[in-house]
Structure 1
Amino acid sequence: MKSIYLIRHCSASGQEPDAELTDEGQQQAQGLAEFLSQEDIERIISSPFTRAVQSIEPFRVQKELELTLDMRLTERVLSKQPLDDWLEKLESSFSDMNQVIGEGESSHKAQERIVEVINEIKDGPDDRVAVVTHGNLLSLLLNYVDSRFGFREWQSLSNPDVYLITANREEPLSVTRLWKS
């Protein structure tokens, strides 16, 4: 049985790859470390975005674990151009998973890359792995596991947030929300 802890980053100062955690986000990262310390996590894989790395850093230091950065865990780019109606476009991307806006990434393509990471973990040697990512990408993975997870559920995600996926070769993935915001 594999336990995969899906972690959404803590509160950040923006959406840019180098956006850092806010003061509140730094406090949340300490709380996240305390929360995760009860789990016997063997490995951490994270988006290379600063806010994701900073979110898991207190836990990583506490447990003396190495951090593997994986570009496939970066946030989905809805559009490379600013959109005044980005929230409506994001909502529609949950019902039309192949929708592409300009040079953005479809929900389907983003979902494929995070599922690939999860499948590698399922087939890998570690039984308890933390995966640190971003809200939209996390929601697309949760949608893959449970198709009822959509836009409204994305809206209910917190910073941080923690879900547990349990997996074995014989059964479908199952997911449970662990974080109580």
Structure 2
Amino acid sequence: MQELYIIRHCQAEGQEPNAPLTILGQEQADRLAAQFDTIPLDVIISSPYLRAIQTIQPLAEKKKLVIHQDERLIERVLCGTSEPNWRDMLQHTYNDMELCYAGGESSRQATERVLGVIEQWKNSDHTCAAIISHGNLISLLLRAYDGRTRFREWERLTNPDVYRLSLDAMPPSIERVFV
């Protein structure tokens, strides 16, 4: 049986790659680690962004697991410039998976990137993984397994947020756990 826990990072001080967790985010990371006490994780794969690493560090230490960093789990770049209407732009990318703003990547490109991580894990000997990433990329991953996930579901994601994806079921099942 292969189970995947998809984790959105805890509360952070910003969106830059080196943005650390807030004090509340650090407390959330400790609580998150405690919620995984009985879950037999055998691998942790994380975005290399500091907020993702700090989110999973307490759990990795508790389980005595190495954090494998994977660039494919970084935040999706919507566009190459800071745009005041970025939320509207993002919403359009849920309606048109091919829409790609200058300097960014389309929803389809980001989805294929994250699915590459999942495929690599599925072809490994690991049976229970935690993947730590960022909201937009996570919502696109969920959408790949449940086409109903859209902009509204992205808006509902919390920091942290955890979903369990069971790949042995047909179709694969997704369940929100540990909010």
Matched with 2:163 is 163
How far apart in 1 are the matches of 2:176 and 2:100? 29
Q: Deviations over 1:40-87 (max 9, x none)?
A: 101100000000000000011111101100000001000120001000
Q: TM-score, normalised by structure 1?
A: 0.96
How far apart in 2 are the matches of 1:52 and 1:41? 17
How far apart in 1 are the matches of 2:153 and 2:19? 24
**Is residue 2:57 matched to residue 1:27?**
no
Amino acid at match of 1:178: V
How far apart in 2 are the matches of 1:148 and 1:171? 17
Matched with 1:130 is 130
Q: After superposition, where does 1:17-166 map in structure 2 within 5 Å? A: 17-166=17-166
Q: Deviations over 1:122-164 (max 9, x none)?
A: 1210000100000000000001100101000000001000000
How far apart in 1 are the matches of 2:163 and 2:10? 14
Q: How much does 1:120 deviate?
A: 1.4
Amino acid at match of 1:125: D
> Which residues of structure 1 form unaligned runs of 5+?
none
**Secondary structure of 1:172's aligned partner:** coil
User: Deviation above 6 Å: which 4+ runs of structure 1?
Assistant: none
Q: CA RMSD in A?
A: 1.0
How far apart in 2 are the matches of 1:100 and 1:132? 24
**Is residue 2:167 matched to residue 1:174?**
no
> Which residues of structure 2 form unaligned runs of 5+?
none
Q: Percent identity?
A: 43
The alignment covers a number of residue pairs equal to: 179
**Secondary structure of 1:54's aligned partner:** helix
Q: How much does 1:38 deviate?
A: 2.2
Amino acid at match of 1:93: T
Q: How much does 1:173 deviate?
A: 2.1
